[in-house]
Amino acid sequence: MPTQVAKHFFLLSGIHQTLPIAEVQAILEAEDYRYKILENLTQVLRLEVDPESIKAIQSRSAYTRVCCQEIFSCGANLSEIFDCIRSASLDNFIGEESFAVRVRRIMGVAPEIDRVDLERKLGEQIYELGKKVDLSNPGITFFGVLTDNKFIFGLKTAEIIPKPFSERRPRMRPFFHPTAMQAQLARVMVNLAQPKKGDLVLDPFCGAAGILVEAGLIGCRVLGFDAKPHMLRGGHKNLQHYGIEHGVAVADARYPPVKEADCIVTDPPYGRSASTLGTSTRLIVEDFLPVVSDRIPKGRRICMAAPQTTKIAEVGEGAGFKHIESHFVFVHGTLTREIVVFEKT
Ligand SMILES: C[S@@+](CC[C@H](N)C(=O)[O-])C[C@H]1O[C@@H](n2cnc3c(N)ncnc32)[C@H](O)[C@@H]1O
């Protein structure tokens, strides 16, 4: 049976330029949804995709804010916007339920348009169809975004609340260590490795287990190693706290005591807060990547973070992996992280 596809758009976090888009694509690929990119705008990704895929984005994504089924897109000017809303088949999107209209403006575009006034005027067009307005508890929400001199308008199908991620920030966990990664970035890294629910995710430098917590929360089985027993005890405590079944063991990541995992997501030590045990990140990764190359199946992925200066993509290619993508995340003046994705060929 052919898959039903429709136009959707996603309002993305503005925290990073490339990671939010890559995360949506990775989730769709992990969950076997085909998609076609229609347009990549500032903080908005327009896709043609199966509406069923929205559940996967909603349950997995860290950097998506709102998902919408698209009704129209046009230039960011009032005459085009009102022409489009008047000719849109809105009855296909709204029944007897009450509605509200919300508009977001990205990076100050189209300052001549009064956002609240636009919400009200769009609402009036829908109200004229005999529909009921409810601004505090609407049955459905129409959502528009002004970005890059365009206006994209649709029916909101899902919203992702970032609060649970901030509630899992490193300082809120039972075991805290300064090397721990923010929950949202850890979740994005897990998604970039494209595990499915039930897959075994390995973090061989697991530390406080921030990555494994995020993998466990999307239904993956998780396994972690760390060379330092006290770090592993902390990681175990954190995993227990979030109710995640797990396996952990004291082990050197360069000699991992596991035959196979479905994918690897990891953040090796940088020799700053996390000790490299007398060697360097580059040397550790040069030893580690060739060893784990035969511990994941062909076509599966590794997502790793390292200081940009480590040139980790080069090391992965040297170990025979295909370099899929790199994203650069500024941390502070002397540290920019490279988030890299490799595929086993
Ligand atoms: C950057 S931390 C991991 C932080 C973790 N991703 C988090 O968010 O909580 C790196 C960890 O690697 C461990 N480590 C260092 N060398 C190792 C090795 N050769 N094998 C395994 N673990 C190692 C350190 O003890 C440290 O806990």
Q: How is the chain split into domains, by residue range?
A: 6-159, 167-343
Tens digit of pLDDT for each residue in 194-250?
999 999 999 999 999 999 999 999 999 999 999 999 999 999 999 999 999 999 999
Distance 57 CA to ligand 1 centre (A): 29
Q: Does residue 253's CB lie within 6 angstroms of at least one atom of ligand 1?
A: yes
Tens digit of pLDDT for each residue in 14-67?
999 999 999 999 999 999 999 999 999 999 999 999 999 999 999 999 999 999
Q: What is the pLDDT of residue 224?
A: 98
Q: What is the pLDDT of residue 342?
A: 98
Q: What is the pLDDT of residue 4?
A: 84
Q: What is the pLDDT of residue 3?
A: 66
Within 10 angstroms of residue 304's Cβ, the number of other Cβ atoms is 27
Contact 184, 214 (CB under 8 A): no
* Chain Cα centroid distance, residue 173: 21
Q: Cα angle at 10 between 9 and 11, to 5 degrees?
A: 125
Q: Does residue 312's CB lie within 6 angstroms of at least one atom of ligand 1?
A: no
Q: Does residue 208's CB lie within 6 angstroms of at least one atom of ligand 1?
A: yes
* pLDDT higher than threshold 60 for residue 295: yes
Largest CA distance in the chain: 72
SS3 (DSSP) at 234? helix
Cα–Cα distance, 115 to 174 (Å, whole number): 43
Contact 191, 219 (CB under 8 A): no
Q: What is the pLDDT of residue 279?
A: 78
- DSSP codes, 251-285: --TTS-S-S--SEEEE----SSSS--TTS-HHHHH
Q: For all residues of the chain together, what is the average pLDDT?
A: 96
Cα–Cα distance, 97 to 131 (Å, whole number): 8
Contact 292, 264 (CB under 8 A): yes
Q: Of all protein residues, whose CA lies closest to atom 26 belonging to ligand 1?
A: 207
Phi, psi angle pair for 27, to nearest 5°: -65, -45
Q: What is the pLDDT of residue 2?
A: 54
Nearest to 274 by CA among 302, 305, 318: 305
Q: Does residue 252's CB lie within 6 angstroms of at least one atom of ligand 1?
A: yes
CATH 3.10.20.310 for the 6-159 domain, yes or no: no
Tens digit of pLDDT for each residue in 148-194?
999 999 999 999 999 999 999 999 999 999 999 999 999 999 999 99
The residue to mutate among 226, 239, 284, 286, having the most atoms of ligand 1 within 8 angstroms of its beta carbon, is 226
Cα–Cα distance, 3 to 308 (Å, whole number): 41
DSSP 42: T
Q: What is the pLDDT of residue 274?
A: 67
Inter-CA distances, 226 with 50, 195, 291, Å: 40, 21, 16
What is the atom index within ligand 1 of the atom nearest the CA of 235?
9
Q: Cα angle at 114 between 110 and 118, to 5 degrees?
A: 105
Tens digit of pLDDT for each residue in 88-136?
999 899 999 999 999 999 999 999 999 999 999 999 999 999 999 999 9
Q: What is the pLDDT of residue 280?
A: 86
Tens digit of pLDDT for each residue in 311-339?
999 999 999 999 999 999 999 999 999 99
Q: What is the pLDDT of residue 107?
A: 97
* C-alpha count within 13 angstroms, C-beta hemisphere, residue 291: 15
Q: What is the pLDDT of residue 235?
A: 98
Sheet holding 335-343, edge to edge: 246-250, 221-226, 200-203, 263-266, 301-307, 335-343, 322-332
Q: Which CATH number fits domain 167-343: 3.40.50.150, 3.20.20.140, 3.10.520.10, 3.40.50.2030?
A: 3.40.50.150
Q: Does residue 274's CB lie within 6 angstroms of at least one atom of ligand 1?
A: yes
Tens digit of pLDDT for each residue in 151-163?
999 999 999 999 9
Tokens 């290619």 belong to which residue? 317
Cα–Cα distance, 101 to 126 (Å, whole number): 9
The residue to mutate among 175, 179, 276, having the most atoms of ligand 1 within 8 angstroms of its beta carbon, is 179
Q: Does residue 303's CB lie within 6 angstroms of at least one atom of ligand 1?
A: no
Contact 229, 236 (CB under 8 A): no
Compute the Cα dihedral for 164, 166, 167, 171 and give only its sign.
positive
Distance 284 CA to ligand 1 centre (A): 11
Q: What is the pLDDT of residue 206?
A: 98
Distance 166 CA to ligand 1 centre (A): 22
Tokens 């499915």 belong to which residue? 196
Distance 206 CA to ligand 1 centre (A): 5
